[in-house]
Amino acid sequence: MTTTTKPLYFDTAATTQMAPEVLAAMVEYLGNAATFANPSSSAHIPGRAASSIVEMARSQIAAELGCEADEVIFTSGATEANNIALRGLALAHSDHGRHLITSNIEHKAVLACCASLEHEGFEVTYLMPNSRGWVEPAKIAAVLRPDTLLVSLMHTNNETGVMQPISEVAALAAEHGVLLHVDAAQAAGKFRIDLQQTPIDLLSLSAHKFHGPKGVGCLVVRNRRQLRLRPLMYGGGQEFGLRPGTLATHQIVGLAVALSLAADRRLADLARVSDLKHHFIESLGSRLPVQIHGQPQDASPYIVNFSIAGIGSDALVNQLANELAIASGSACSSGTVDPSHVLRAMGVEGDTLYGAVRLSFDRNHSIDDVSTAVEQIVAAVRRMQELTA
């Protein structure tokens, strides 16, 4: 299906358009007089009806991820899930260790959380990736200590799309008795995540990254009864005492439907976006001097990060504002003058660093959309070159 809106939207790593099936399911439960009640109000029939909807959604999500239903904790999204995972674990188990390991290319939700823990007396080791944007398992093995409590490593980088060696790191962490947290915001729904096969202890995701609603996500806590976390907020004891507050039934339904829909379409969607990314790189590279950050064989087909020689990212984004919606750096750092911490960690510097932009694709894009994007980028670059000639 060809996208007809203008500007053409190529910022799906920031958020995706809600799928019609998801919207229909949410509206059904939002306007249903039989299921509008508070799911925590178990003393009456309407409350129990709403609760049953939540629990069906929880089971649906658990089946897709390969975990137990009571290991799925609903949150407002991956940022909150990351904070509960890191802070909740560190504060609850500080007597077992006060050392954490992460990387310099994590999302700000993880890096800022780690920084806050350092202020509270925890020690964090930040690992640099190699020039491919890949955190080598051997580097993690080299910094493991007897007091290491947790390794936190994202599945797929939100800026470059580089996919990390999660299976190898999970096996390494399990072998050494260290817990593993994975931020799967850019991976859930797009790639198969089976917690029966990969020993990940804590997994974060957001619905709006795979055509679900904003404002809802979850944290999977494996072996929740043994792995106790400290809540960040206190209240009515919802979500097994870990995340209090009235549950938004319709959003939770949206999360479950979006994840199931993504699973049903996963292989077809991967094939489609792989073709889109290949077409984009080949077409643009044949006409302009382009440098790709994150080799395609290492990266998600949903994301491409690149620089064009002599072209600044902010200037290019501004030139294209009426034609294309693309990102300069990560979505959470857009609007600042700080260059990408991810690319800098990969050794990218100078004009190349300040010229990096990101396009991200989804199943709604077509080859025609991508061809149009290439034409618009080439035209914008030619205009900018003429102005500086």
Cα three-residue angle 112-114-120, rounded to 5 degrees: 110
pLDDT at 227: 87
Query: In b/e form, how buried is each residue of 220-231, taking b as 16+ CB within 10 angstroms?
Result: bbbebeebebeb
DSSP-derived letter for residue 299 is B
Tens of pLDDT along 185-206? 999 999 999 999 999 999 999 9
Residue holding tokens 């080299």?
142
Cα three-residue angle 309-311-312, rounded to 5 degrees: 130
pLDDT at 1: 44
The one-letter amino acid code at 294 reads: G
Tokens of 49: 């009806």
Residue ranges for the chain with pLDDT beneath 70? 1-5, 329-337, 389
**pTM of the predicted model, to two decimals?**
0.95
Which 3-state string (H, E, C) describes 186-249?
CCECCECCCCCCCCCCEEEEEHHHHCCCCCCEEEEECCCCCCCCCCCCCCCCCHHHCCCCCCCH
Tens of pLDDT along 361-385? 999 999 999 999 999 999 999 999 9
pLDDT at 103: 98
Domains in the chain, ordered, with CATH?
8-17+264-388 (3.90.1150.10), 20-260 (3.40.640.10)
Please give the backbone phi and psi of residue 179, each rounded to the nearest 5 degrees, phi first: -80, 150
pLDDT at 260: 98
Catalytic entry in 67, 113, 218, 332: 332
User: Is 218 an active-site residue?
Assistant: no
C-alpha span between 216 and 25 (Å, rounded): 15
Find, among 131, 353, 367, 88, the residue nearest to 232 by Cα. Answer: 88
